[in-house]
């Protein structure tokens, strides 16, 4: 006796080829269609739209800031940051990979530590790259460089700690108002570095890092980011991470509104306060993007379009004439 398997009931929302009449080529009524004509009309319409928007709204171009503009606008912030770079206490100095191997600095997801796995690929010694290197590039380097290099680690730490505290207590945090103390060569080094920055030579020295050709602005960006100047300017333009800054643009422009979901998680708890917020948000957005990509395979999700009948609007003419 032969038994026939009962025909499998097709889910009309399935991605499979055999799902209803969606799979085989359409055998019903057709209407005339001109692909090239539609493309040409579309292109002309978009060009006109783009030209009109460009003429009406233009595009933003806020001038780049520099170590020079920082040193001139906020010398005390510049000196405080440079002192932290020399001491190895700045954000960059303790960042971890890819800049250095500071223990415990990486963002992990349970046992997964992609940051450490990637390794220290862009090594930056903040004291050398941002302070001692540029000062040593001068025709007559300040004698304090040699004094600093000859000192023990403990002595260096004592000098920079004392100077950083004194700067913090000084009126307006101004290096000129720092009380007398045992800071070793640190104040002299900072004075010369500030002068270099104000004159504009520090920008090129830090960007070049001893080379002629350069397209890598990592050192200068990290140095500026360690201070308050760049962050304050960005916050004033609503560009900080907690101000939806990831999708905002300078001026009144739409910006990268397509990053709204990525930006959204930085605005809400518990994500906003997590010490590993970046890796958590990256993974979350990656999973959600993957879910969107795989909607056709996810029961329930793939049936939403049938339950909420927006398709009735799209094909209203078809359904009316059924």
Residues 187-246 that bind another protein (CB under 8 A): 215-218, 221-222, 224-225, 230, 233-234, 239-241, 245-246
Q: 289, 10, 67: which is closest to 197 by C-alpha?
A: 67
Nearest approach, Cβ of residue 210 and another protein (Å): 17
Q: How many CB atoms lie within 10 A of CB 247?
A: 17
Among 5, 121, 171, 211, binds another protein (CB under 8 A): 121
Tokens 């890796």 locate to: 279
Residue among 181 and 254 whose Cβ is closer to another protein: 254
Structure tokens at 208: 């070049």
Per rule CB under 8 A, is residue 267 in the interface with another protein?
A: no
Beta partners for residue 109, in sequence order: 112
H/E/C letters for each residue in 128-171? HHHHHHHHHCCCCCCHHHHHHHHCCHHHHHHHHHHHHHHHHHCH
Check: CB of residue 107 under 8 Å from CB of residue 275: yes
- Find the binding residues for another protein in span 165-184 (CB under 8 A): none
Nearest approach, Cβ of residue 184 and another protein (Å): 31
Per rule CB under 8 A, is residue 65 in the interface with another protein?
A: yes
Per rule CB under 8 A, is residue 59 in the interface with another protein?
A: yes
Among 229, 293, 299, 300, binds another protein (CB under 8 A): 293
Nearest approach, Cβ of residue 79 and another protein (Å): 20
Among 76, 83, 106, 160, binds another protein (CB under 8 A): 106
Q: 235, 232, 230, 233: which is closest to 220 by C-alpha?
A: 230
Q: How far apart are the first and last CA of the chain?
A: 43
Nearest approach, Cβ of residue 244 and another protein (Å): 12
Structure tokens at 297: 């395979």
What size, in residues, is the chain?
Answer: 322
Check: CB of residue 115 under 8 Å from CB of residue 96: yes
User: Binding string, 7-36, against another protein, x = CB under 8 A?
Assistant: -----xxxxxx-xxxxxxxxxxxxxxxxxx
238: alpha, beta or left, given left = phi > 0 and alpha = psi -120 to 50? Answer: left
Query: Which stretch, 144-152, 166-174, 186-194, 312-320, contacts another protein (CB under 8 A)?
Result: 312-320
Distance CA 256, CA 252 (A): 12
Query: Which stretch, 40-48, 137-145, 149-157, 174-182, contacts another protein (CB under 8 A)?
Result: 40-48
How big is the site for another protein, counted in residues (CB under 8 A)? 108
Nearest approach, Cβ of residue 250 and another protein (Å): 5
Residue among 143 and 315 whose Cβ is closer to another protein: 315
Among 1, 179, 268, 310, binds another protein (CB under 8 A): 310
Per rule CB under 8 A, is residue 302 in the interface with another protein?
A: yes
Please state the φ and ψ torsions of residue 221, each to the nearest 5 degrees: -65, -45
């Amino acid at each position: 006796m032969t038994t026939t398997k009962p025909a499998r009931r097709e889910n009309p929302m399935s991605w499979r080829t055999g799902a209803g009449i969606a799979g085989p080529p359409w055998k019903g009524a057709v209407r005339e269609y001109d692909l090239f004509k539609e493309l040409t009309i579309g292109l002309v319409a978009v060009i006109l739209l783009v030209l009109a928007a460009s003429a009406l709204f233009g595009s933003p171009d806020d001038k780049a800031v520099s170590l020079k503009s920082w040193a001139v606008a906020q010398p005390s912030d510049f000196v405080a940051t440079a002192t932290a770079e020399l001491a190895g206490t700045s954000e960059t100095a303790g960042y971890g990979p890819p800049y250095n191997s500071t223990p415990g600095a990486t963002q992990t997801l349970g046992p997964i530590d992609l940051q450490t796995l990637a390794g220290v690929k862009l090594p930056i010694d903040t004291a050398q790259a941002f302070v001692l290197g540029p000062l040593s590039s001068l025709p007559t380097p300040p004698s304090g460089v040699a004094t600093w290099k000859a000192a023990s680690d403990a002595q260096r730490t004592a000098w920079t700690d004392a100077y950083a505290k004194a700067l913090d207590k000084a009126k307006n945090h101004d290096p000129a108002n720092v009380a007398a103390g045992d800071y070793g060569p640190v104040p002299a080094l900072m004075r010369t570095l500030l002068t270099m920055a104000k004159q504009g030579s520090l920008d090129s020295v830090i960007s070049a890092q001893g080379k002629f050709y350069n397209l890598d602005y990592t050192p200068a960006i990290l140095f500026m980011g360690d201070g308050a100047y760049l962050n304050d300017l960005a916050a004033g333009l609503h560009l900080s991470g907690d101000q939806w800054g990831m999708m905002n643009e300078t001026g009144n422009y739409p910006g990268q509104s397509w990053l709204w979901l990525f930006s959204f998680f930085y605005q809400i708890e518990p994500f906003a306060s997590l010490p590993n917020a970046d890796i958590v948000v990256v993974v979350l957005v990656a999973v959600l993007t993957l879910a969107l990509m795989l909607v056709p395979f996810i029961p329930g999700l793939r049936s939403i379009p049938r339950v909420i009948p927006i398709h009735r609007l799209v094909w209203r003419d078809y359904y009316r004439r059924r």
